[in-house]
Structure 1
Amino acid sequence: MGFQWVVGDGRSTVATKDLWLAQKFDFRVDNLKMYEGREEKVATLFYPNSKTWDPERVHSVFIYGDATAILATNVPQRQVEDRIVWAKSLDRIYSVKTGYYFWQNLYAADSNCAQSEGWKRIWRLSIPHKVKISVWRFCRNNVLVFSAPEWLLQKLSSARYDEVVAICLVLWGIWFWRNKRV
């Protein structure tokens, strides 16, 4: 996820399931199943009436790797509440730009369309932009005509230029007339 909890007083963050460990890649404890049903707040891991970690308590609740990450987490000594921040930007504030980059890194690597030579050829074609967008939507399975982007991209990567243009125009025509009927 792109957000995480930042510990203040520790009363809102659930230590066993919330995303709050800055030292961990995914901000959470390693073995969620092991802590299932436990709802300890981070504040219960402090010495009483303090905002200092109780190492004995932390090690009694968590496995070694999680305990080490918890004890390495800085806790502000001033009185502030726990808060949720956007972990994917330096200022910790969500923006459409940082959300987009997060989404791209998460999902674009899995996309056959993004890694294909056929896909690159689509964007270089001298055809209307709306046709390119329609083919892009088709490849991303956003157009429910049928699901076959892999064979299409293979065809586009090996076809002649005029064949690629024809395929794209036909796909756009199908999409256009389908939308007129719906």
Structure 2
Amino acid sequence: MGFRFVREMNLAMLGKQGWKLFSDPNALVTRIFKARYFPTCSFLDAGLGSNPSFVWTSIRNSQSLIRRGARVCVGDGSTTRVWGVPWLPDTQNPYVTTPEPTYLTNPCVHSLFVPNTLSWDGELVRDIFNTRDANLIMSLPTSNRPVRDVWYWGEDMSGDYSVKSAYRVVSQGLSDERAVACDVVCPLCGVEPETIVHLFANCHFIHKCWSELNRCWRMDYVDSIDTWIGAVWSSLPREMIINIIDVCWAVWENRNQLVFNNHCMDPKPLVANALRFCSDWLAANALRETSTASHAAVSSNIS
């Protein structure tokens, strides 16, 4: 089906139900949910409510998605507010950006028409709004006859909500959030590109860590992480393997501290802390096993 992110796919599918609650007020399901959860407002403004059902909680999660794609097609302008509603023909920002004058009280779009007509009052529009808003308003075609304002889905050419278009909107937003600029150079040595095999086998920093663990080790260049892991597993005793795993974990934590908090621990205290943690962890597990065995023995004697 072309879906890469399950959560985003689920949100797009929930959005289809949310869109129905928002755009079809006469539907039976809308009337039921509205009476229970948003009797005095629209679906987009609805709160979670008291003791909400799982279905309502799930559908309500699509509110932000619906807001991103919902647009108003202005008819007679009698139900669309000028400010705070996406009715301008701008895909990037369909909202009026001009600050609302204090002498206006949240007017509807029809107040911008010449009285008793469905034509824009150009003089009034340019007097109230900035150039950007005024040009967008004047570019909107008006109807020849009174028709009601209707909501449509702006992310699809048909104007109808579709799971495919909603998924595209959600996944694009996710891609933007995940598009974090990263430096490919290893933050610990600042010389070579950061890869897994470099970080744990070839970096100058990790060489110093392994020297703290065993000064007799040869630090040869390693081509792949699989080769390095295979050599460790096949040639070293279990206790040393545990220490290596713990040091790798400490090096990774140290690397993250340097990247995100600009704090880096030197190899010697880093290895010492890792080995201390390993020793404490093994001691705690041994104590738990001893306690479990003693408890089992006492239970056996009692029975």
In which range does the TM-score fall when normalised by the shorter chain? Answer: 0.5 to 0.7
Cα gap change, 1:56/1:99 in structure 2, threshold over 3 Å: closer, same or farther? same
Structure with a larger share of its residues in helix:
2
1:79 to 146, 159, 168: 146
The aligned residue for residue 43 of structure 1 is 110
Is this contact kept in 2: 1:24–1:69, CA < 8 A? no
The aligned residue for residue 84 of structure 2 is 17
Return the offset for 1:24.
5.3
2:137 to 70, 74, 77: 70
Is this contact kept in 2: 1:2–1:88, CA < 8 A? yes
Q: Provide the rounded CA distance (Å) in 1 between the counterparts of 2:163 and 2:91.
A: 25
Looking at both structures, which has the greater relative contact order when contacts are Cα pairs under 8 Å and sequence separation is at least 6? 1
**Structure 2: tracts of 5 or more residues without a match:** 1-67, 183-193, 198-224, 230-303
Return the offset for 1:65.
1.4
Question: Structure 2 length normalisation: TM-score?
Answer: 0.36
1:104 to 155, 161, 171: 171
The aligned residue for residue 10 of structure 2 is none
Q: How big is the alpha-carbon RMSD for the aligned residues of Structure 1 and Structure 2? A: 2.6
1:59 to 126, 131, 149: 126
Question: Structure 1 length normalisation: TM-score?
Answer: 0.59
- 1:91 paired to 2:158: yes
Return the offset for 1:16.
2.0
Cα gap change, 1:161/1:62 in structure 2, threshold over 3 Å: closer, same or farther? farther
- 1:158 paired to 2:192: no
Is this contact kept in 2: 1:13–1:82, CA < 8 A? yes
Letter in 2 for 1:35: E
Return the offset for 1:35.
1.6
Tell me the secondary structure at the aligned position of residue 9 of structure 1: coil
Instruction: Name segments (4+ residues, structure 1) moved above 2 Å.
Output: 157-163
Return the offset for 1:112.
5.6
The aligned residue for residue 123 of structure 1 is none
The aligned residue for residue 37 of structure 2 is none
Q: Provide the rounded CA distance (Å) in 2 between the counterparts of 1:74 and 1:23.
A: 14
Q: Provide the rounded CA distance (Å) in 1 between the counterparts of 2:119 and 2:73.
A: 15
Cα gap change, 1:158/1:45 in structure 2, threshold over 3 Å: closer, same or farther? same
**Structure 1: tracts of 5 or more residues without a match:** 117-154, 164-182
Letter in 2 for 1:99: A
Letter in 2 for 1:18: V
The aligned residue for residue 234 of structure 2 is none
Q: Which has the larger radius of gyration?
A: 2
Letter in 1 for 2:100: Y
Tell me the secondary structure at the aligned position of residue 174 of structure 2: helix
Tell me the secondary structure at the aligned position of residue 30 of structure 1: coil
